[in-house]
Amino acid sequence: MFLETNIWNWVWPIVLGLLVGVLLAGRKNVDYSKIVRLKPEEFRQNMRKGQLIDIRTETQHDTRRISGSRNFPKMSAFQNLSKLRTDLAVFVYDETDSGLLRRFSKKLIRKGFVRVYCLQGGLKQWPFNLKEE
């Protein structure tokens, strides 16, 4: 009688349950308090203590930028993480305080970076001189 029932009626729920369990067990507890939003004055005072990253487009970066910043354009920002040192703080900015900036910062923390500092208000709120070409 048992062998006459369709095997998939009881195999699929077991496989699905195991898959969900594995996915939930693999999640890390991430401490997003390591992401700090700094006002332009604080950002400027401390940005030389770490890696300065501009996640705007290459054209925007070439036009005007904070001196000393490296450009990881929006779409390739996540692919360039291997070029950064995880043991140094990362100072990151965008044109505005955008969702991409928050996503990029969270990704850095999940990848094991010690501290991430974001420019509050983005480059639009930057009151200091910029390198322009």
Q: Where are the domains of the chain?
A: 32-132
Would the pLDDT of 27 be above 70? no
**Looking at the domain that runs over 32-132, which CATH code has it been given?**
3.40.250.10
Report the pLDDT value the prediction gives residue 36, as an integer from 0 to 100: 96
Percentage of residues in the chain having pLDDT higher than 70: 94
Report the pLDDT value the prediction gives residue 119, as an integer from 0 to 100: 96
Amino acid in the structure at residue 10? W
pTM exceeds cut of 0.85? no
Mean pLDDT of the chain: 88
Percentage of residues in the chain having pLDDT higher than 90: 55
Report the pLDDT value the prediction gives residue 2, as an integer from 0 to 100: 54
Report the pLDDT value the prediction gives residue 91, as an integer from 0 to 100: 97
Q: Which of 96, 100, 43 is nearest to 72 (CA)?
A: 100
Would the pLDDT of 4 be above 60? no
What token pair was written down for 72? 């990881």
Residues 45-81: pLDDT tens digits? 999 999 999 999 999 999 999 999 999 997 787 788 8
